[in-house]
A and B are shown apart, each in its own frame.
Chain A
Amino acid sequence: MYYIDPHIHMVSRVTDDYETLSKMGCTAMSEPAFWAGFDRGSAESFRDYFRQLTEVEPKRAAQYGIQHFTWLCINAKEAENVELSREVIAMIPEFLECSNVLGIGEIGLNKNTKNEATIFLEHMELAIKFQQQILIHTPHLEDKFQGTKMILDMLTDDSRIDPSRVLVDHVEEHTVETVLENGFWAGMTLYPVSKCTPARAADIIEMYGPDRLLANSAGDWGPSKPTAVPDLIFEMRRRGHDESLIRQVVYENPIKFFSQSQNFNFVRPDVVTEKSATP
């Protein structure tokens, strides 16, 4: 089955992972900007990172037939440094015309501080000004519930935000309902220990239905598994769910959400064009 991983940090992965993902049916992916495992010292470090996301990774992915898309921001952890964050936010418009940029992300909260919230609001202003979609990181573990509610407050308090163009990621059992009820898209991150397992993600799909739900692997430099989405596909099949239901979550929903971005020039491998059908 073809699938799209809507949230995977390929800068952290070796090239062999691209090959494995391609063999498992991954046909496209989107990579939000995130924390590198250490705090960067200057805005110029982010300029190089954004070049990696917009120039290097698309080429690396294309070697294995995977279409690579990306999102730009300064992540919630480094957003604690307000001065640096404002320099990075001022630089982002230089990259918004790059052909694989889908929007602003993954913005969000980490420890739910005032500085993080301040920079979240400034990222929102950037997205509104440039009519960009938004991809959101919600905090982990004990901070998730509080942080998700704070993020939803900031989004829903601003009438200029269209919920159908916002994806709220890392939802779990205690946050998914309020995200969906407010009209946003919700992403389940399949990740050991601190996020959601494939079995629990399948439970959430059974309880809330497949509409506006996505599944991703995160696939970062931590103890993550880049092939976690195929694990969910396997779990859903094991439970006897229809292929059409599984396909909606792992393939059709990402296409529907991303298609709201002008740069999502996705070529569907499952649609035979007139040219390719000609003998």
Chain B
Amino acid sequence: MNREFFEIRAKILELAASFDRLDRGDGAVEDRRIELIREGLTILDEDTPNRAERVQLLFSKVYSEGWRSEYGL
């Protein structure tokens, strides 16, 4: 915690400032991306392991096992 505290604090502050910037900006931000960001923040707050892996999967396209037959390869 001694090593990580100030880094985490700085990253939370960057996120807070980013959301403030979005609020001040023109145009709607209620699209799929803002939903993903909200889901990502939820993962951070959960008391479970592998948060980084789960955030990565949240922002990933879905893999289909049948892709080779779909492509005819």
Q: Which residues of A contact B (CB under 8 A)?
A: 112, 114, 117-118, 121, 141-146, 149-150, 153-154, 157, 172-174, 200, 203, 238
Contacts and interface: CB of A to CB of B under 8 A. Distances in A.
Contacts of A142: 59-61
Contacts of A238: 3
B67 interface: yes
The size class of the interface chain B forms with chain A is: 10 to 19
A274 B52 CA distance: 49
24 contacts: A114-B71, A114-B72, A117-B73, A118-B73, A121-B73, A143-B61, A144-B56, A146-B61, A146-B63, A149-B63, A150-B63, A150-B67, A153-B67, A154-B68, A172-B56, A173-B50, A173-B53, A173-B56, A174-B53, A174-B56, A174-B60, A200-B52, A203-B52, A238-B3
Q: Which 6 A-B pairs have the closest CB atoms?
A: A174-B56, A145-B60, A173-B53, A114-B71, A173-B52, A149-B63
A10 to B, nearest CB: 29
A98 B69 CA distance: 38
A136 B46 CA distance: 34
Interface of B: 3, 50, 52-53, 56-57, 59-63, 67-68, 71-73
A144 B60 CA distance: 7
A150 B52 CA distance: 22
Given A153-B68, A173-B52, A146 B60 contact: yes
Most buried by A among B3, B50, B60, B72: B60
B10 to A, nearest CB: 13
Contacts of B72: 114
A203 B43 CA distance: 18
